[in-house]
Amino acid sequence: MPDATGLELLAAELGDATLETVYFRERATLLVDPAQIRMVLAALRAKGYGFLASVHGVDHYPEEPRLGVVYELLDMSRVDRITVKLRVPVDAPRVESVAEDWPTADHQEREVYDMFGVLFDGHRDLRRILMPEDYEGHPQRRDFPLGGEPVIFTRTEARWLEKRE
């Protein structure tokens, strides 16, 4: 984990790609420009963060910009972690795909697209991965209805109740 000073140095090296740095409970986080995420991750890889441990989405509803994508990087030789975050508005949720550089991001970006509707530009196969292909909406968004079904048993089915009466 870079300490607070190390994180500031790292942010300075990345230049205007970094929008904000957060150092909280010994976890270093960079908030970066969505258009430059690929460059940022490449620079961090050159620093030794060679393993993309996770890509996941967040919905910050009702804050704007609403949707977030979080990249967890790990330096396996120093056992050092850093979190890279970005935020995109919900009406234009476009992020550059990093699947070209990090093959592990392929399926994880598909999952973020499936659950949050973030569009990854340059992803070669951006389809739904968990929900059925004809599913409407992105179910992990916070304004998506909780869903579920009213419980129906065979004996409570309307047709069957009429017959019994």
Partner 1 sequence: MKRDPIAPDGAAGPGLPGAEGQRDLRVQSLNARQLLRGGDLEGANQPAQLKGADLDRFVAERVLTTTLDKTVAWARSNSFFPLAFGLACCAMEQFHAAGPRMDIARFGFEAFRASPRQADLIILAGRVSIKMAPIIRRLYDQMLEPKWAISMGACCSSMGVFNNYALVPADKFLPVDVHVPGCPPRPEALMHGILKLRKMVQDDPDRGWRERYDAIGTEEAPSGA
Which residue is listed with tokens 């079904």?
Answer: 149
* Cis check: omega of the bond before 62, within 30 degrees of 0: yes
Nearer to partner 1, 149 or 165 (CB): 149
Site for partner 1 in 129-148 (CB under 8 A): 130-132, 135, 139, 144-148
- Which range touches partner 1 (CB under 8 A), out of 10-18, 51-59, 74-82, 157-165? 157-165
Encoded amino acid at 120, one letter: F
Q: Give me the count of residues in the chain.
A: 165
Contact by Cβ (8 Å): 74, 2: no
Closest approach of partner 1 to the CB of residue 111, in Å: 13
Q: Which of 26, 91, 149, 165 lies at the binding interface for partner 1 (CB under 8 A)?
A: 149
Q: Which of 20, 64, 121, 157 lies at the binding interface for partner 1 (CB under 8 A)?
A: 157
Q: Which of 53, 122, 143, 160 lies at the binding interface for partner 1 (CB under 8 A)?
A: 160
Which residue is listed with tokens 């004809």?
Answer: 134
152 makes contact with partner 1 (CB under 8 A): yes
The structure tokens listed for 146 are: 């909780």
Q: How many whole angstroms separate alpha carbon 32 and alpha carbon 122? A: 19
Binding mask 84-123 for partner 1 (x = CB under 8 A): ----------------------------------------
Nearer to partner 1, 91 or 136 (CB): 136
From 108, 115, 83, 63, select the one nearest 10 (Cα to Cα): 83
Neighbouring C-beta atoms of residue 90, cutoff 10 Å = 18
Task: Name the site residues for partner 1 (rule: CB under 8 A).
Answer: 130-132, 135, 139, 144-149, 151-154, 157, 159-160
